[in-house]
Each structure stands twice: as C-alpha cells, then as structure tokens.
Amino acid sequence: MSQEKRKAVVLLSGGLDSTTTLAIAQQERFEVFAMTFRYGQRHQHEISVAQQIAKHAGVAQHIIAEIDLRSFGGSALTSDVAVPKGRALEEMSTGIPVTYVPARNTIFLSFALAWAEVLGASDIFIGVNALDYSGYPDCRPEYIAAYEKMANLATKAGVEGQQQIKIHTPLIHLSKAEIIKRGLELGVDYSLTSTCYDPSPEGAACGQCDACLLRLKGFAENGIADPAPYAGKKPHEL
C-alpha cells in the first residue's frame, strides 16, 4: 500500500549543514520542497551549488527566493566588510562574528513558513547548529522554540487547527564532525557543497575563513579529506 509522503520545506543554502539536513529530511520520508535565497550574499556561488544539490537529491520542487539584504548591509556577507581569515578556534568562540547577518534566520524561516502554509506542509527543516563556535543568536534552541510557537500563532492554518508547524533542527546539538559523519552515512556528496564565506569567482573555497576552518576540522576529525575544491591548494595541504 502506498502512503503519500508528508511535505516539508527545507532551507537549502548549498552548504554542508543544509545539504545534510536535506538528506535527513528525505531519510525521514518527507517529500522535500527546497528553498534557497539570493539575498545579496557575497558568496553567490552557493546558489548554483544549491541548484545542483537539489537536482541531485531529486527534490519535489526548488525555489530561489529573492531578498536583497544589501539594501542595509550590516554583515561581512552582505557588504564590503572583510571576511575574517585565519582565526584561531578560541577567537571564533568569543562574541558574534561580523559574518552574522542581522535577523537572517528569522527572515528565512518566515519565507519558509509562508511557503509551507501554501503547500499545506507542517514541517520545516533548517540546518542550524548551536555548537562549533558559531555564536549566532538565531541558531540557538530557545530561538527555534520561540519561532515555532510564533509560527503557530501566525498562520491561518495554525489558528484553524489544520496545521501544527514543527521546525526541525536535526543538527542543532551536533559538532561539525558529527554532522559530516551523519551525512556520509546518508550518502551525501560533500564535493557538491559550498561552505566558504569568501570563495573565488569560480567557487573554490578560501580555506581560511571561519566556515572553511570549521569544515576542514570536521573532515579531519573523521579522518578524511574534504572533497570540495579549495583555491590553489588541495585540502590535505591546508
């Protein structure tokens, strides 16, 4: 007997975390509707990467939403502020980095919520992670819990009792190494993913920004080389 799959909206940036999250949603038997944002990020390469990943994963639908967060800047990812390079882990773990994009996850989740309501989906997946030095306030469990509560007050479907929105954060308590291990078990092809905050025009990772350093550390802890392209160097030379 065939059972219709439940629909889920999955936020997909093209990075390691969101790609793993997509694989987890599929493993949990959800029909995936992937959503990517062109928000004025300096690493726009990730949008074409997300398209490849969505295609590779065979999602039901993939949309690219346009929101220009450069209109007010405020982040190294949406302005000309330099992306920090070569920071030690201790440095990454203190304070909120300049790569924080003001209110980004609230904006992204709001778009996902709107699409979920249109689709009649009750489930939204986001690959936020509270560990690994990110320091981002909108990646914390208490933030997600509050957002979920708000979501059920905010929508017609929620108020009428047709939908109980659930925000899934399968990676929230995992280290980068644990995320990679889980993804490899699920067959994620990490050579497709792009994590770097400041890639070359061709999309090669810099190997020196916080995102690259944490990613490389995660692969190293799994005893394997990162299969993604890095500018000028092979991953094992970094």
Residues at the interface with Zn ion (CB under 5 A): 196, 205-206, 209, 212
Q: Which is nearer to Zn ion, 112 or 196 (CB)?
A: 196
- Using the minimum distance from each CB to Zn ion, give the nearer residue, 180 or 196: 196
Q: 192: buried, middle or exposed (CB in 10 Å: 19+, 13-18, 0-12)?
A: middle
Minimum Å gap between C-beta 212 and Zn ion is 3
Instruction: Provide, rounded to whole angstroms, the least separation between the CB of residue 201 and Zn ion.
Output: 14
- Residues forming beta bridges with residue 124, ordered by sequence position: 9, 167
List CB contacts of 229: < 8 A, sequence separation 6 or more.
191, 203, 204, 205
Minimal distance, residue 28 CB to Zn ion, in Å: 31
Dmax over CA atoms of the chain, in Å, equals 57
DSSP 230: B
How far, in Å, CA of 158 to CA of 117, rounded?
A: 9
Query: How many angstroms from the chain centroid is the CA of residue 131?
Result: 14
Q: What is the Cα–Cα distance from 168 to 171, expressed in whole angstroms? A: 9
* Residue closer to Zn ion (CB basis): 130 or 209: 209
Tokens representing 105 are 């996850």
- Nearer to Zn ion by Cβ, of 138 and 210: the residue is 210
Closest distance between Zn ion and the C-beta of residue 157, in Å? 40
Q: How far is the CB of 76 from Zn ion (least distance, A)?
A: 12
Query: Is 141 or 232 the residue whose CB approaches Zn ion more closely?
Result: 232
